[in-house]
Each structure stands twice: as structure tokens, then as C-alpha cells.
Amino acid sequence: MKHIPLLVSTGLLLLASCGTSKEQNNGVASTADTVNKTDTVAVNTQMTARMSMKPVIETGDSLELRFTVYNRSVKPQSFCKWHTPFEPPMSKYLDIKDDQGVEARYQGAMAKRIMPPPADSYIEIKPGDSLSVMVNISKTYLLDRPGTYVVSYNAQEISGLVVKDSITFIYNK
């Protein structure tokens, strides 16, 4: 009988420790190909990016997208190259939809990574400078019918880049 209070308090302690806990992600959504260990890359408002393509693309033409990053700061700035065209295709960082809202199928690799990115995952740009890369999106996205397409960048939380505008092009097959 003298062990009952000890058993009750031990039982209550065990029950209390089995309660549910909510993990807070500071309002940031995780993507399917990135594991959040600490936090996402901070968005740098001094670093912006812009996408461009030819407005009309004919059959046989490559679907070349130019992705340019600008440093509007007076200091060197860096961005994470993950989920950008500055690395080989390892993630779905673009949303490409036709005029009926049907999304082009991504057929590239999906790499799982642990946050935060290591130092060699960053690219530095000098003050007032820019850096561009061309990527053929037909190598990783399936556009199987003609139409008007809208391309949007969806990986701001990973790269830290701000891409405000989407682009539109007509695909004549």
C-alpha cells in the first residue's frame, strides 16, 4: 500500500510525457524533396531573379529559358543554387501550366536534401552585377500538346531568390 502514491505519480508522469507535440515550422512549407532540419534559406530581398523565353516556340525549337539573378545591393550577396537552373536538374522548381490549368509533367530527378545547405551550395554575386544561365525545360518537363503555357518559379524558400513575375509562351507543335 505504501507504494501506491509512487506508482500513481510515475503513471501520471508517463501519461504527461506521451502527449502530442506540434512542431512549429515558422509558416514555411516543406517541399517533397527537402528535409527541414533547422529552417529554410532566408529570402534575400536584395537578390531578385527574372525568367525569360521566346514568346512563340515552334516544333523542333528548344524550350530555352533564361534565368537571371540580380544583386541590387552595394555588398556581395549569395543565393542557394539548389532548386534553380544553376545546378543540374534535381528538383521541380518550376510550375508550368497550359491555358486550361493542366500542369506539365516533371520528369527529372528529385533529390532529398537536409537543410541548411552547405557552404558550397551558394553562389556569390558582386554588387550591382547579375548572373544568367540558360536551361532547356523540355529535358525535364513534358509539354505534349500545343497551347499557351505559363511558367512560374516555386522554390523561393529554398534558393532565397525573389522571382515576382511568371512568363507566358505559345508552343506551336
81-122: pLDDT as tens digits:
999 999 999 999 999 999 999 999 999 888 888 888 999 999
pLDDT of residue 9: 54
Q: What is the CATH number of domain 30-172?
A: 2.60.40.2970
Q: Structural domain boundaries of the chain? A: 30-172
pLDDT at 123: 97
Q: Which three cell numbers stand for residue 23?
A: 512542431
Cα-Cα end-to-end distance for the chain: 85
Amino acid 121 reads: S
Q: Is the dihedral of CA 41, 45, 49, 55 positive or negative?
A: positive
pLDDT digits (tens, 9 = 90+) for 21-61: 333 333 333 333 333 334 456 666 788 999 999 999 997 78
Query: Which residue in the block uniquely carries the three cell numbers 512560374?
Result: 152
pLDDT in the model for residue 127 = 96
Q: What is the pLDDT of residues 60-84, one digit of tens each?
A: 788 999 999 999 999 999 999 999 9
Q: Give the pLDDT confidence score for residue 53 in this predicted structure.
A: 97
pLDDT for the residue numbered 141: 95
Q: Is the peptide bond before 116 cis (omega within 30 degrees of 0)?
A: yes
For residue 115, what is the DSSP state?
A: S
Question: Which tens digit of pLDDT belongs to each residue from 150-166?
Answer: 999 999 999 999 998 99
Contact 77, 45 (CB under 8 A): no
